[in-house]
Amino acid sequence: MAKIIIIAGDLAVGKSRLAKNLSKYYHIPYYNKERIKEILGNEAEVQTPELSKTLSTVSKEVLLHILDRQVRTGSSVILEANFHQPELERIKQETNFHKVPVYLLHLTGDIDVLYERLLYREHYENRHPIHLTHPLQTIEEFEDYVMKWRSEPEVLPRLTINVSGKTSDDVYAEAVSILEAADPDFKTRTNL
């Protein structure tokens, strides 16, 4: 039976790494909004905040299309993106209609640590230019952005993992434990 794993959460919290690790462990394909956004952004001559926002919206629509195809064929998938309430309601409707379970792993952490990670990524990692257009220039702007997402209504139950003080291996182990407790198929890695 198909299963949908959504990985969402704070900026710079390790969502992509967790998606890759779970994909490898469970042999389920994963798709991430940021990579789709980068592919689309490669076609733009100028990177602007408006373009970044538009490409984020389009990228999430692509992920929702992938979700639709996967549930219709009975295939599992991992989607990594911060879907908002209207998108989550569409996911809930689609998965309920096809009777496919969906698990939303929500990663969170200490604001100060996450902001430092964001700054490090921007300055020392080879980030795609489309990711460097955001307006989050201060820790206060970063915190406002994160808190806005955290306070959105819970359309799907959030299986929350606080990454504070944990290594990526610890987060991965906790995610596997949460999924296996929620659904025995994850434990046996069958019917995925």
- What is the residue range of 21's domain? 4-188
How many C-beta atoms surround the C-beta of residue 48 within 10 A?
Answer: 11
* Over residues 138-153, mean pLDDT: 90
Give kind and range of the element (H or E) at residue 88.
helix 85-97
User: Who has greater pLDDT, 98 or 120?
Assistant: 98
Tell me how many domains the chain contains.
Answer: 1
* pLDDT above 80: residue 133: no
Q: What is the CATH number of the domain that holds 175?
A: 3.40.50.300
Task: Calculate helix-pair angle for 139-150, 111-124, nearest 10 degrees.
Answer: 120
Tokens read off for 85: 């309430």
Predicted confidence at residue 48, as pLDDT, reads 80
**pTM passes above 0.75:** yes
**Residue 145 pLDDT exceeds 90:** no
Band (pLDDT 50/70/90 cuts) for residue 177 is very high
Compute the distance between CA of residue 12 and CA of residue 121 in angstroms, rounded to an integer: 8
Q: Between 164 and 130, name the one with better pLDDT.
A: 164
pLDDT tops 90 at residue 24: yes
